[in-house]
Chain A
Amino acid sequence: MKVPIVIFAILIGGLSIALLNISPNKAEQPQEEVQVKVDYPKHINKFIGKYCTDCHDEDIQKGGVDLSSFSLENMTQIDEDLWAKVYHQVESGTMPPKKKKKQPTTELRHEFTNNLSEHLNSNIRTKHEMIGRTVIRRLTREEYENTLKDLFEIEDLEIKEFLPPDQKSHGFDNIAHSQNLSHVQIARYLEAADFILDRAMNPQPKPEYKEWDIEAVKAHRFNIGNDAIKKDGKIYMLRQPNSAQTPWYISDFKVHYSGEYKLKMWTYGTEVKSTGKGKETKLSDEKKTDKHHVLMFYANPSKNVLRKQGNVNVPPNKYEAPVSIHLNLIRGEKPLFQIATMSDRAYGTAIAVEKLQMTGPHISSWPPASHKLLFGDLQSVQWDNKMKVREPLQRYQNFTGIKSIKRQSSQWMVVSDNPEQDAEELLYKFMQKAIRRPVERSEVAPYLELVKNRLKENYCFQDSMKTGYKAILCSPDFLYFQENFGNLSDDALASRLSYFLWKSMPDKQLTELARNGKLKNDAILKSQVNRMLADKKSKRFIHSFIDQWLELENINLTIPDSKLFPEFDDWLQDCIARETYEFFTTMVKENLSPTHLVDSDFLVVNQRLAQLYELDKIDGDKLRKVKIPKDHIRGGLLTQASILKITANGTTTSPVIRGAWVTEKIIGKHIPPPPPNAGSVEPDTRGATTIRELLDKHRNNSSCIGCHQLIDPPGFALESFNPMGAYRERYRNLDKGDKVKKRILGKDAKYKLKLDVDSTGETVNGTKFTTINEFRELLLKDKKGLAKNVTEKLLTFATGSQVHFTDAETIEEITKDADVVGIKDIIHGIVQSKIFRRK
């Protein structure tokens, strides 16, 4: 490999120009080249010694920082991060602190930051040239699952639960440096491969397609009289059964083959009155209604586990056509549904159901693609005990991630007339697809050997092949990214791109472009990014990125206290995360400016969210873009219910937690943890003191105020929102205050209103604000900062590496037109950048 020589022109003190050779291998360096080497460490240490070590030395270690223990030579990642911090602190003028008498002149400060930046850049670049900016990366369990889904074309494959969760680092779970591996995963990879191969193999005849006409009155075991009434051959569902019975099963239907089914429902919403009790209940005639209802569908693989399938709208008054929903059901599962728009107490409205029809499994071709990938066009027969080979091994029959092997009476198996030849061909083809780079024929050998050994031991062809495939799926070739040094090969680039925007392996088009050497072309790369973002697989990127960046993965961690926040229901729980995903999807699709994270002129809402946000009535479950009324308090991420919920604990809110969230996630400043024994503030839920008063006592302490001045202001601005994301002017509590006369979801409100909310605050540089809208304006002033932050987060996620000091130039370049740059531009900028295209 030829060693690149990087030459930097450096201005030192405005006088001398130094040429510096950076070379990973000094021995190869041409001797005659002239070098004027600047001793950066000496300059840097001189400054540090003069202005910093008064506080940051071994003895005092102010802020936990001891500069004497960090090296400028052979820097580790920890050293690099520390020096990067020093650079930013000195460059921004935060350090040395203003109160210190000894201050460097502006010139000295400049000289120092220049020296430090040159030293860091050259050292880190050299290191990256030698070992890469990132180390070899392993598929995360999410990527592993998606890769297998796409490899075998099985959409509802749920396999990540087989593997232990991946370590998160710098906010994301794909950071190569922090990835661990131990025997635990290896054992699990073996198990998971078994599971997936059993699902993929389908030697048996095509399962029969069936239609089940289900009479509405027989469809589920309603508690007739209380929950539902039969009348004129219809079922009138009057209320949501209580939570213990939720959701309802659809019976008279059984899934024998895991796959796609379709449910049609002839149904509409209406208004009826019921009189009497139990079986004596009578219904009044139907009345017109303007209420749109929503049903939420699930499947349950085992007790207490629900897999969400989707929501459907029920039209008011009559139906034009049946509503239908596609269900991905796994063998043995039953579909269930829940009425999102009704509570278990409130009567008055009803959903009439005339009949239901279930059809399936819907199979486009047989054998399925997964089987063809493994066995081509080879025939299958039924085993019997007269055959020479062993009986085929039992396969997983219950594909729910829960191990259960049921015995089948007569096993089907794939047969081959030329087993060894077929094995070689099949393995080769499989590797070509699974391994994400061109494969040499010779690479098949060790796997073929495995298969041959199994054949010798008299295992049937199918089971022998399975051993070979299992080995491939556990091999480092499959589990790791294969990235070469320097500019990534086309194949490596295709993989990096694909795991960025799809969280999975490249598809046929990407692979072909890579194999033809075309992907490196800027224009083609750009058009591929556009194609990939338009593909539905990009949903995986949005979800994974948002889940991790904004911590939306914690959305179900708490449930708002039912007495304090009785409005919170299952439907709202279901909608709030969707809003944020959909909002960010819109930002990407329409290439909107990162400022939309803070403020947008639109919201993406449905009926339930519009109700929570006090907007005009919208019907149905589908999320759609609506314009925000003038002076409305919502807009951007910060006022989305999802964010307001994950930054609360279900009962109370804390400006510190919310403030820290905004500071870290949106502004992009890392907050050091509180010093030991800092203590923390316990919210007073009895309503006597506001959190602000409690906090004041704590933060006015001199050792706390420094950080809290920075952290708390966004949290104060967000005090106007309660733990489920609704607007508030007074705090709710259950002890003292004014009673509220309101019926919520059929129950009397139990909470009381007492203290007033105060959403005013002052930023660290002394600017005052009184509402969230005013605070937003302040955040919007730093467009560049907002753009840089989201770029850093995306870059981390895209490359599987933390942001390095040397990345600053690229980030600056991508965001240089902060006024016009959009999220899509940023994604393009990252993909086109050298950082992304080199290891």
Chain B
Amino acid sequence: MSQTFWIRPKSINRRTMLKGLGVAMALPHLEAMAVAKTPEVPKRMVAICTDQGIVPGYFFPKAKQKWTETRYLKHLSDHHADMTMLSGVSLPDVTGGHHADVVFLTGAAHPSRPGFKNSVSLDQVAAEHVGIKTRFQSLPILIGRENKRSLSFTRSGVMIPPEKKASNLFKKLFIQGDKKQVQAQMAKLQEGRSILDVVRVKSKNLADHVGKADKEKLEQYEHAVREAEKRLQTMQAWESKTKPTVKAKVPQDFLKPGYLIDRSRVMYDMTKLALETDSTRLVTIMIEGDFNPKVIIEGHDINEGWHQLTHHGWRKEKLSQLGAIEDAQFGVLNDFLNDLKSVKEDDQTLLDRTSVLYGTNMGCANRHSNDNLPYLVIGGGYKHKGHLKFDEKNNYPLSNLYLTELHRLGVNVNSFSSSTGTMKGLEFS
């Protein structure tokens, strides 16, 4: 009885589920509903982490100030009705300052401790359910220097290498190879599958001759090979389908670290195109400041590296430069939101069906703290209610938002990472 999965009392917040499907539904019909006769409404997510923090004083409202009137939120004035600001939230037991970027979407505890092992990221859990519907199960993107960091991690805690070039992303998404190229690619995928077939058998033989603990490790290898095979198979299937066409041209890459803002803009553009063409429904973007060269901001003389500026020690001239960088970051975010809103899908906009999670791994980069994270939830069909304030001393678990987000994406799980339940005060409309 596979359907029992759907009505197991604790498996999902039933009320939420019912609301999502129409409250009038009587319980016995739920099973039938789960098979979904209504046309599917695609649910999408873009999760963004800017890893040098966000100056809290410019983000959060001061006493008596409205949340919409803070320096940074003013940049997003067209979208205030579509967003929720979270304060007093953090990932439980996540410490380690900069090191916490790798757990931004996984919530694994203490990333800088000995013996640390990362866990699966929000997007990858979702990818197991909604990923198969699109050419790319998920798209991890890096706005940064090296291919070393992304927000996406597999079930075994392995980082999924990001794409860092907008032009590559464009090619992957939209450029159709000629017949010969497609054939060559198909042949390569086929070769890959036959190789994996051989090594999988090899590992099985090997596993028969080792002890229990070793066997588990080899089984992990075997499982990984099987997963890789499945993916090659899916890629083959997609390879034979025509890629969508778009009017846009191959974008410029802006790889020089100074071009943080231009780079962000083209990556946001690619993200919008990927979602609009339903090439993927899950995008993660790591914005990395792990480089020292100076960020170029029009009209400002930025004379120090971004990371150096975050250690401003409340010096005015440093803060003003850092503020200028972050102003520009919110500026391009606003453009991105405008773009998502400009795309109509059925009677909704792309933004209505895409939740944009925007935040950072450090509440205050100046002292590398990992609590009180500045965080925005935008679009996605949530009932947005402005500012959700939680206790600054005793933070509310951000992982609860991730659980809610999974439910929104149609992933029926009881918990995610360190979640203690679904997000208080955030409901689907």
Contacts and interface: CB of A to CB of B under 8 A. Distances in A.
B327 to A, nearest CB: 22
Contacts of B148: 165
A476 B311 contact: no
B232 to A, nearest CB: 8
A734 B314 CA distance: 12
Contact of B201 (A165, A167, A446, A467): A446
A674 B211 CA distance: 39
Contacts of A557: 290, 307
B54 interface: no
Contacts of B232: 187
Nearest to A401: B147
Interface stretch (B4-12, B151-159, B337-345, B403-411): B151-159
Given A169-B117, A190-B192, A559-B292, A135 B311 contact: no
Interface stretch (B216-224, B279-287, B414-422): B216-224
Contacts of A175: 115
Interface residues of B, number: 73
A770 interface: no
B217 A136 contact: yes
A178 to B, nearest CB: 6
Given A181-B221, A476-B199, A651-B313, A682 B214 contact: no
B220 A181 contact: yes
Q: Of residues B147, B218, B221, B257, which shows the largest number of chain A Cβ atoms within 10 Å of its Cβ?
A: B221
Nearest to B312: A685
Given A167-B118, A178-B117, A184-B159, A471 B199 contact: yes
Given A169-B115, A476-B202, A303 B192 contact: no
B160 interface: yes
A450 B158 contact: no
A562 interface: yes
Given A476-B199, A652-B313, A677-B394, A181 B158 contact: yes
B237 interface: no
Contacts of B211: 130-132, 485
A479 B198 CA distance: 15
A61 B244 CA distance: 58
A479 B371 CA distance: 40
A479 B218 CA distance: 11
A447 B314 contact: no
B210 A136 contact: yes
Nearest to A679: B369
A525 to B, nearest CB: 25
A799 B159 CA distance: 25
Contacts, number: 192
B228 A187 contact: yes
A477 interface: yes
Contacts of B290: 557
Given A132-B211, A467-B191, A186 B225 contact: yes
A669 to B, nearest CB: 12
Interface string A638-673: 000000000001111000000000000000001001
Given A304-B255, A304-B257, A735-B315, A183 B231 contact: yes
A171 interface: yes
A477 B202 contact: yes
A450 B154 CA distance: 30
A453 interface: yes
A182 B227 contact: yes
Contacts of A447: 198
A624 interface: no
Interface string B241-263: 00000000000000111000000
Contacts of B75: none
B31 interface: no
Interface in A54-85: none
Q: Of residues B95, B198, B304, B307, which shows the largest number of chain A Cβ atoms within 10 Å of its Cβ?
A: B198
B164 to A, nearest CB: 11
A203 B41 CA distance: 55
Contacts of B331: none
Given A164-B161, A167-B157, A185-B158, A476 B218 contact: yes
Interface string B368-389: 1101000000000000000000
Contacts of A179: 217
A379 interface: no
A476 B369 contact: no
A636 B212 CA distance: 45
B368 A184 contact: no
Contacts of B210: 136
B206 A477 contact: yes
B28 interface: no
A670 B114 contact: yes
Given A673-B95, A680-B368, A686 B313 contact: yes
A477 B206 CA distance: 8
Contacts of B257: 304
B24 interface: no
Contact of A561 (B95, B216, B256, B308): B308
Contacts of B369: 679-680
Interface residues of A, number: 72
B107 to A, nearest CB: 15
Nearest to B149: A165
Interface string A141-179: 000000000000000000001001101111100011011
A749 interface: no
A184 B160 contact: yes
A671 B198 CA distance: 47
B44 interface: no
B116 A169 contact: yes
B195 A467 contact: yes
A485 B213 CA distance: 12
Contact of B313 (A467, A676, A682, A802): A682
Interface string B307-349: 1100111110000000000000000000000000000000000
B202 A304 contact: no
A179 B231 CA distance: 22
B220 A558 contact: no
Contacts of B113: 673
Contacts of B95: 673-674
Nearest to B369: A680
Contact of A651 (B196, B199, B308): B308
Contact of B214 (A136, A165, A169, A450): A136
B15 interface: no
Interface string B131-175: 000000000000000111000001111111100000000000000
Contacts of A734: 315
A188 interface: yes
Contacts of B314: 682, 684-686
B424 interface: no
A31 interface: no
Nearest to A390: B187
A671 B366 CA distance: 22
A259 B221 CA distance: 35
Contacts of A670: 114
A470 interface: yes
A572 interface: no
B224 A185 contact: yes
A288 B225 CA distance: 68
Nearest to A683: B313
A681 interface: yes
12 contacts: A167-B118, A170-B115, A178-B117, A186-B196, A303-B255, A303-B256, A475-B202, A475-B203, A480-B217, A480-B218, A650-B307, A674-B95
Given A164-B160, A171-B114, 7 more contacts: A130-B211, A175-B115, A182-B158, A188-B161, A450-B194, A467-B194, A686-B314
Interface of A: 130-132, 135-136, 138, 161, 164-165, 167-171, 175-176, 178-188, 190, 303-304, 393, 446-447, 449-450, 453-454, 467, 470-471, 474-477, 479-480, 485, 557-559, 561-562, 649-652, 670, 673-674, 676-677, 679-686, 734-735, 802
> 3 tightest A-B contacts by CB?
A685-B313, A183-B227, A186-B228
